[in-house]
DNA sequence: ACCTGAACACCGTTCAAGT
DNA sequence: ACCTGAACACCGTTCAAGT
């Protein structure tokens, strides 16, 4: 005999996301989420298959909340940059969750929607087939890679370490073995995550433009 | 009174890595590693601070084994592509470990070495300062993002699903809402991870070239 | 310094039973 | 269909003791 569900999937999503936001990824457990909802751990198995399902819940909550529609742009380049930046910002809003956003495979409508809104501008630029696929992969790789690199790249701040301390640490390295690393570390002072992302995207967009242009030539 | 260590750090590294390679990330635990080494769990605390240290052990093992030196190239572009591809392949050799390679922050000599060998070609190209930092971040983001996207992007194969099944699933989507996604999914048939990575890198390298070229103009 | 076993506070999940 | 508590086989880590 049927019984109405006690919770909505959305309720679970927001509860799970706030645990991750407030207490970190490790704090998300069947038992912790159940307690946050005022129920027993086993109740959650009516909504998810296993512990993995909790991660998917969080990823969906993050991707789902982002808005991918945008004002009509002035070209595929701007459209692409706009969607990419929105996606990057949505991910960055929940830094604790980034590892699972990168890691959990999920084919949900929300993911499909953002994928399509990246693919639209790329098709508009003239990409098709294998090149469309590669361009799509490159853009998404750059977006998630930049979000993650900000937190855990070699030049990222360590927890409880100031920017000045980070720079000092790199300046103390042997200057003739790590000249590039030292220069890059010094530059972190004059740099911002937004600036770095925009620059990185502009490199890639320039490259995509150049690829399209050279194909246009060989067609003619 | 001092006692000689029972294990070397390298012994732990290889034991930890083979657990991850053979049984997956979840199988790596203090107790499992201890058992593999024929000792008790508490012994490991002589070598690592905490569970997190086990992940660092694995990441170091992967990065450390890769060879980043390369034959003298014909330009910064080739040098950059060579190192990037070597790093990408090293990561791909241990697919189970990719989530922690992306995720665990670690400032070890091995990481510094590969970072510097990416920064070298970029400096040779003419990048400096904030642009050098952004270019470095873009390249590393592309490398790790492509490695991860191959496994968990929206177009990645699901475990126990054939390529044909994947394509069929996307072809079944509404063609007017997901035209790009369907075209990209169809292209996976004619595509390979190596081809996609090389294309993605060539987009980025073209963009870096173009950036440098346009600066040269404004200097003149 | 390094090794170790017992104990503690967790964890996901199976099972069996309830509505 | 959905909810639930008890029980089981794990887990990381503290503590106290040993060399």
- The string of pLDDT tens digits covering residues B174-191 is 999 999 999 999 999 999
Spatial contact of B83 and B114, defined as CB atoms under 8 Å apart: yes
For residue B193, give the nearest of B155, B137, B139, B159 by alpha carbon. Answer: B155
The pLDDT tens digits of the residues spanning B194-205 come to 999 999 999 999
Q: How far is A164 from chain B (nearest CA, A)?
A: 16
Give the count of beta carbons closer than 10 Å to the beta carbon of residue B192. 10
Q: How far is A213 from chain B (nearest CA, A)?
A: 11
Query: What chain B residue is nearest to A190 in terms of C-alpha separation?
Result: B130
* Contact state of B133 with A99 under an 8 Å Cβ cutoff: no
Q: Which chain A positions have a beta carbon within 8 Å of B144's beta carbon?
A: 141, 145, 148-149
| A106 vs B146, residue with greater confidence | B146
Segment B191-216 shows an average pLDDT of 96
Which bases of strand C sit closer than 7 A to a protein CB?
A: 1-6, 10-16, 18-19
Residue A189 pLDDT > 90? yes
- For CA atoms B83, B87, B90, B93, the dihedral sign is negative
Q: Residue A220: what pLDDT?
A: 47
Residue A219 pLDDT > 70? no
Report the Cα–Cα distance between both ends of chain A, in Å, rounded. Answer: 69
State both tokens at A112: 């499909």
Cβ of B39 near strand D (under 7 Å)? The reply is: no
For tokens 């971040």, the residue is: B137
State both tokens at A74: 């002035």
Q: Residue A108: what pLDDT?
A: 83
Of A78-92, A145-159, B68-82, highest mean pLDDT: A78-92
Residue A32 pLDDT > 60? yes
Q: How far is B6 from chain A (nearest CA, A)?
A: 31
Cα–Cα distances in angstroms (integers) from residue A7 to residues A35, A38, A39, B144, in the given order:
13, 11, 10, 38
Q: Residue B63: what pLDDT?
A: 86
Query: What chain B residue is nearest to A214 in terms of C-alpha separation?
Result: B206
Average pLDDT of every residue of chain A? 92
Query: What chain B residue is nearest to A189 in terms of C-alpha separation?
Result: B130
Q: Which nucleotide is nearest to A42 (CA to C1')?
A: D4
Report the Cα–Cα distance between both ends of chain B, in Å, rounded. Answer: 70
Residues 74-93 of B with CB under 7 A from strand D: none
Q: Which nucleotide is nearest to A5 (CA to C1')?
A: D2
**Burial of B132 per CB tally in 10 Å (0-12, 13-18, 19+):** buried
Considering any atom of strand C, list protein residues whose CB lies within 7 Å. A 1, 3, 29-32, 41-42, 45, 50-52, 54; B 1-7, 39-43, 45-47
- For CA atoms A191, A197, A203, A205, the dihedral sign is negative
Q: Which chain B positions have a beta carbon within 8 Å of A205's beta carbon?
A: 207
**φ, ψ dihedrals at B80, nearest 5°:** -65, -45
Lowest mean pLDDT among A95-104, B39-48, B77-86, B118-127: A95-104
Residue B107 pLDDT > 90? no
Q: Residue A216: what pLDDT?
A: 77
Which bases of strand D sit closer than 7 A to a protein CB?
A: 1-6, 10-16, 18-19
For residue A27, what pLDDT band results from cuts at 50, 70 and 90? very high
Q: How many Å does it take to go from CA B206 to C1' D19? A: 63
Residue A3 pLDDT > 90? no
State both tokens at B99: 């989530």
Q: Residue A89: what pLDDT?
A: 94
Q: Which of B50, B98, B122, B136 to mutate to test the interface with A (most CBs of A within 10 A)?
A: B136
Assign residue B157 a region (left: φ > 0; alpha: ψ between -120 and 50; beta: otherwise): beta
Lowest mean pLDDT among A4-18, A59-73, A134-148, A170-184: A59-73
Cα–Cα distances in angstroms (integers) from residue A73 to residues A19, A79, A89, A191, B78, in the given order:
37, 6, 19, 27, 35
State both tokens at A177: 């073995």
Q: Which of B114, B133, B160 to mutate to test the interface with A (most CBs of A within 10 A)?
A: B133
Q: Residue A106: what pLDDT?
A: 75
Q: Residue at minimal CA–C1' distance from C2?
A: B3
Residue in B131, B145, B195 nearest the CB of A144: B145
Q: What proportion of chain A, given as a percentage, has pLDDT over 70?
A: 96
Q: How many Å does it take to go from CA B44 to C1' C3? A: 9
Q: How far is A123 from chain B (nearest CA, A)?
A: 7
* Distance separating alpha carbons of residues B1 and B148, to the nearest angstrom: 47
For residue B138, give the nearest of A191, A96, A86 by alpha carbon. Answer: A191
Cα–Cα distances in angstroms (integers) from residue B124 to residues A130, B20, B127, B132, in the given order:
31, 38, 7, 10
Segment A196-209 shows an average pLDDT of 98
Residue A50 pLDDT > 50? yes
């Amino acid at each position: 005999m049927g019984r109405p569900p006690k919770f909505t999937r959305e309720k679970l999503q927001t509860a799970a996301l706030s645990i991750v936001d407030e207490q970190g990824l490790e704090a998300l457990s069947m038992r912790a989420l159940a307690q946050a909802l005022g129920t027993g751990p086993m109740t959650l198995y009516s909504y998810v298959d296993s512990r993995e399902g909790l991660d998917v819940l969080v990823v969906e909550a993050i991707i789902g909340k982002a808005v991918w529609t945008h004002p009509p742009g002035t070209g595929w380049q701007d459209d692409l940059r706009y969607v990419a930046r929105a996606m990057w910002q949505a991910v960055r809003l929940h830094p604790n969750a980034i590892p699972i956003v990168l890691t959990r495979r999920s084919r949900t409508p929300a993911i499909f929607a953002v994928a399509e809104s990246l693919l639209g501008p790329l098709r508009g630029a003239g990409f098709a087939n294998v090149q469309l696929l590669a361009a799509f992969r490159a853009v998404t790789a750059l977006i998630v890679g930049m979000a993650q690199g900000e937190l855990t790249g070699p030049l990222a701040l360590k927890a409880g370490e100031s920017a000045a301390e980070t720079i000092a640490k790199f300046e103390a390295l042997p200057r003739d073995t790590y000249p590039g690393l030292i220069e890059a570390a010094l530059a972190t002072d004059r740099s911002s995550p937004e600036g770095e992302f925009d620059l990185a995207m502009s490199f890639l967009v320039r490259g995509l433009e150049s690829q399209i242009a050279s194909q246009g030539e060989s067609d003619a």
